[in-house]
């Protein structure tokens, strides 16, 4: 399983539009990407200008397919990222010693 975390730092005036875009993106992912096991956005309790995205993909192929979709290119690359103050992104792999099966 591949996990992506992304922390967005946003301007107050872009807050509503960015949350709307995240909601729209979430709908597309849920309807079209069976290889995406989780796609969740979280609002920071410490700073209202920070958003954490947590995404989990069944495998590398599912993760790669996600970033190639037309809606990712439009919503994330063309609409969200240009409005961000900062974007911190990290890829993770589930502990290889964890013998539990990945969710199906």
CATH code for position 47: 3.30.70.100
Q: Is position 28 within any domain?
A: yes
Q: Which pLDDT does position 97 carry in this prediction? A: 72
Q: Are 53 and 8 in contact (CB under 8 A)?
A: yes
Average pLDDT over residues 55-83: 97
Q: Is position 102 within any domain?
A: no
pLDDT in tens, 31-46: 999 999 999 999 999 9
Q: Which pLDDT does position 95 carry in this prediction? A: 74
Q: Is position 76 within any domain?
A: yes
* Tokens standing for residue 67: 């970033």
pTM above 0.75, yes or no: yes
Q: Is position 104 within any domain?
A: no
Q: Is position 85 within any domain?
A: yes
Q: Is position 65 within any domain?
A: yes
Q: Structural domain tally of the chain?
A: 1
Q: Is position 35 within any domain?
A: yes
Q: Is position 100 within any domain?
A: no
User: Residue 18: which residues within 8 A CB-CB, separation 6 or more?
Assistant: 8, 10, 51, 80, 83, 84
Domain extent at residue 76:
2-93
Which runs of consecutive H residues, i.e. helices, occur in the chain?
Answer: 15-32, 60-67, 70-71
How many other CB atoms sit within 10 Å of the CB of residue 76? 19
């Amino acid at each position: 399983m591949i996990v992506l975390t992304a922390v967005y730092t946003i301007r107050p005036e872009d807050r509503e539009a960015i949350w709307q875009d995240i909601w729209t993106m979430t709908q597309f992912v849920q309807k079209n990407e069976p290889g995406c096991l989780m796609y969740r956005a979280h609002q920071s309790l410490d700073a209202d200008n920070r958003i954490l995205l947590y995404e989990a993909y069944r495998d590398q192929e599912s993760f790669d397919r996600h970033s190639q979709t037309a809606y990712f290119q439009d919503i994330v690359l063309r609409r969200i990222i240009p409005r961000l103050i900062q974007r911190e992104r990290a890829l993770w792999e589930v502990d290889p010693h964890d013998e539990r099966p990945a969710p199906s």
